[in-house]
Amino acid sequence: MRNHVIRTTQSAIAASLLLIIAGVMIPASAWSLDQHTWTDGQKAILRSLWIGSLGPLPVDPSNRYSDNPKAAALGRKLFFEDHFSGNMKVSCATCHREDYSFTDNLPLSHGMDTTPRRSMPLIGVAYNSWFFWDGRTDSLWSQALGPIENKLEHGISRTMSAYIISKYYREEYESLFGPIPEITEEKWPQEARPAQDDPNALKAWVLMTPVQREAVNRIYVNMGKAIAAFVRTIMPQPSPFDRYVEKILSGENITKRMALTNDEIAGLRLFIGKAKCTNCHNGPMFTNSDFHNLGLPQKGKGGPDKGRSAAITQVLSNEFNCLSQYSDAQANECSELRFIDTSGKKYEGAFKTPTLRNVTERPPYMHAGQFTTVHEVLEFYRSQAQNPELGHGDLTDQELGQIEAFLHALSSPISSLQAEKK
């Protein structure tokens, strides 16, 4: 009897539990939180990531030609010009391929030889203050001058560059920058540059007169300024993510066509929430423009890559920085350089947070191509739970898949000055 009572009570409880569950479940599906419902706080984050928040291109006071269309048109030609290389085969576009989000598909770039780092996508690059993975230059024009004299990349000297400009681009150059002083191979050595790694080239450079060196530097710098004017035009277009956010912010109904998939939305919620990706990948270019050491596996010979910590002195002493005689800026316009954070220790092994726009279109990943797929990148982040900067919580396999799905929604066609193909 007693048992029976208990049994009855148990089944009554079970039945009422079922009822409660059913009672909750029925209305829950009717009222279920719409997956397109975002709190005001979340909407503010979505707005900050939206391409509509990008704003006009920042002015570069150090390059007075940066928004000159003629300079950009010349720069575009120089970008695809393979005369500027030791083997006549390497141009900027070798490692920054237009059909590959302006990067290449190699773990380590290859020009005249293999470089120690991975190429970078140039999408929206003008929104940066520092260039290269370690930020060792402070403008796009001084950045462009690095690869040309780098033995592993273009591998030619600045005297040779000036000579090529005078031979093949004289008219366009002079209409922008004024007359080119007479340059002949007899008068000026072909392979002269202030090189640390090439005593012959350095000797030839030192033996030139100051006037000659200055003239060559001017041409070299103007070449960089024209290339920078082109590189500035490489911009992302609205991605599915941006179109979705635009609808959310306008309060319009989300049609199926505009909606992200359930997985993409779940991934977006994780990206701005539990996975804390927006701690660093924030703003409309998905980067905080700062440098971090993620504790990646080291690759390559020559000891650990010091990243940002080694670049601080390089940018401060760069002969073409914002405060140099070749910059068009007033000293007070060089605030990034003047207020540079010089804490070498903080930046030991740190690299620039890259944009995540078009990220799934351009494997491999990280500054030395450490990972082949986005999935590997995400697995790595999950394994770094003990890193205070990367405390992402316990992400399940399903959640990793959702974040990856979301990253796919950041792809878009890229616009640039229509590149001239050869």
Contacts with ligand HEC, residue ranges (CB under 6 A): 79, 90, 92, 94-96, 109, 111, 115, 117-120, 122, 125, 128, 131-134, 140, 143-144, 147-148, 153-154, 227, 231, 275-277, 279-281, 292, 294, 296, 351, 353-354, 356, 359, 365-367, 374, 377, 381, 389-390, 392, 403
**Smallest gap, in angstroms, from Cβ of residue 39 to ligand HEC?**
20
**Smallest gap, in angstroms, from Cβ of residue 55 to ligand HEC?**
18
**Which of 145, 245 has the CB closer to ligand HEC?**
145
Angle at 94 (CA atoms; ends 100, 241), nearest 5 degrees: 20
Which residue is listed with tokens 């009855």?
8
**Which of 212, 268 has the CB closer to ligand HEC?**
268
**Smallest gap, in angstroms, from Cβ of residue 119 to ligand HEC?**
4
Asked if residue 364 has a cis previous peptide bond (ω within 30° of 0), the answer is yes
Distance CA 198, CA 195 (A): 6
**Smallest gap, in angstroms, from Cβ of residue 325 to ligand HEC?**
22
**Smallest gap, in angstroms, from Cβ of residue 101 to ligand HEC?**
9
**Which of 256, 421 has the CB closer to ligand HEC?**
421
**Smallest gap, in angstroms, from Cβ of residue 225 to ligand HEC?**
11
**Which of 124, 189 has the CB closer to ligand HEC?**
124
Residues 6+ apart with CB under 8 A from 35: 262, 265
**Smallest gap, in angstroms, from Cβ of residue 270 to ligand HEC?**
8
- Distance, C-alpha 294 to centroid of its chain: 16
Distance CA 97, CA 111 (A): 13
Residues 6+ apart with CB under 8 A from 297: 370
**Smallest gap, in angstroms, from Cβ of residue 99 to ligand HEC?**
16
Distance CA 137, CA 228 (A): 13
**Smallest gap, in angstroms, from Cβ of residue 251 to ligand HEC?**
28
**234: which 2 tokens?**
């490489």
| Residue environment code for 377-390, b if the CB has 16+ CB neighbours within 10 A, otherwise e | bbebbbeeeeeeeb
Distance CA 409, CA 404 (A): 9
**Smallest gap, in angstroms, from Cβ of residue 155 to ligand HEC?**
9
Distance CA 408, CA 112 (A): 33
| Residue environment code for 336-358, b if the CB has 16+ CB neighbours within 10 A, otherwise e | ebeebeeeeeebebbbbbbbbbb
Residues 6+ apart with CB under 8 A from 29: none
Do the beta carbons of residue 239 and residue 51 sit within 8 Å?
yes
Tell me how long the chain is. Answer: 422
- Please state, in angstroms and as integers, the Cα–Cα distance from residue 302 to each residue in 116, 136, 286, 294, 299, following that order: 9, 19, 31, 20, 9
Residues 6+ apart with CB under 8 A from 273: none
Distance CA 184, CA 385 (A): 61
**Which of 188, 220 has the CB closer to ligand HEC?**
220
